[in-house]
Amino acid sequence: MKKKNSDPQILSSVRNALRILKSFSTFEPTQKVSELAEELGLAKSTVSRLLSTLATEGFVIKDERTRDYRLGLSVLTLGGIVTNNLEIHKEAAPVLNRLVSDTGETAHLSILDDLETIYIHKEECHHPVRILTHIGRRNPAYCTGSGKVLLAFSDTDILERVIDKGLVSYTDNSITDPIQLRKEMEMIQKQGYAVSTEELTIGTRSVAAPIRDYTGKVVSSIAVVGPIQRMKNGKIPDIANKVVNAAKDASERLGYDERYFRQFSGS
């Protein structure tokens, strides 16, 4: 059901246009007017007008043969501006490169956006068999290595919001029990890294660690991801050590001084 907007400062037309843009995803790269109208609870005529307006500014492109819409280059331009101006993106890039070289697996940099994780940077490995991921991809936070690290070091209310939303089972390994998820968060906090094995996608494993800014706040996560045939159980301690060290390096590049925070925390 369409929610009514009670804030006079928010223009419903702009909000609906943004909702249309956010409806595109890796799994739904194209959209039809009728499908968007049903999904967003809007009239077809309204959706059609908004898409036409977005098309004139290059934010969507219409396929005249299929009548489908896809995202345009204006979205890519804005995305490039965002990533180029993210300090974490610039500082962590060389760290990711080295991590790929050290582990032989693809490395990601992720942030938490509401209750999901977003890949904001990626360095591909050279193996012919790779895990299909891309910059801008959103994943549920509770069943990926990057997401679990970010949840573990975030305010507890964020974890509770994730639980309240519902823990969907993507595979047999997905954590769907709130008690088990809370215990997982405690373990991640103690060991300083997270491991996710086939919790979102069968055949994959990821290892992630938190990146802190100069205030000590966890602002991102760094992770390596690969097929479980290469990232075997016996290799996890070594991979985790490399990921944690990479995260520490990235944190120091952001001004984090671990010795300073240990001094005042008494640890």
Q: What is the pLDDT of residues 198-249, one digit of tens each?
A: 999 999 999 999 999 888 889 899 999 999 999 999 999 999 999 999 999 9
The pLDDT of residue 3 is 47
Domains and CATH numbers, the chain: 12-77 (1.10.10.10), 86-265 (3.30.450.40)
Q: What is the pLDDT of residue 152?
A: 96
Q: Which residues of 96-127 are buried (b: 16+ CB within 10 A; e: fewer)?
A: beebbebbebbbbbbbbeebbbbbbbbbebee
User: Length of the chain, please?
Assistant: 267
* Position 2 confidence tier, pLDDT thresholds 50, 70, 90: very low
In this prediction the pTM is 0.68
Spatial contact of 147 and 138, defined as CB atoms under 8 Å apart: no
pLDDT in tens, 121-143: 888 777 654 555 667 778 899 99
Confidence of residue 1 (pLDDT cuts 50, 70, 90): very low
Q: What is the pLDDT of residues 40-91, one digit of tens each?
A: 999 999 999 999 999 988 889 998 889 899 888 777 666 655 555 466 666 7
pLDDT attached to residue 203: 92
**pLDDT one-digit tens code per residue, 88-111:** 666 778 889 899 999 999 998 988
Q: Which pLDDT score, from 0 to 100, does residue 74 have?
A: 75
The pLDDT assigned to 113 comes to 83
Q: By mean pLDDT, which of 12-26, 126-140, 159-173, 213-227 is the weakest?
A: 126-140
User: Which has more confidence, 5 or 146?
Assistant: 146
Distance CA 237, CA 82 (A): 34
Token couple for 188: 């991640």
* Spatial distance between the Cα atoms of 113 and 204, rounded to a whole number of angstroms: 23
Residue 264 has pLDDT above 60, yes or no: no
d(CA 29, CA 110): 21
Q: Which residue has the tokens 């492109």?
A: 61
pLDDT over 80 (residue 25): no
Using 50, 70 and 90 to split pLDDT, how confident is the model at 190?
Answer: very high
Residue 122: per-residue pLDDT? 82
Interhelix angle 44-56/33-40, rounded to 10 degrees, is: 120
Q: Mean pLDDT of all residues in the chain?
A: 85
Query: Which tokens in the block code for residue 36?
Result: 């968007």
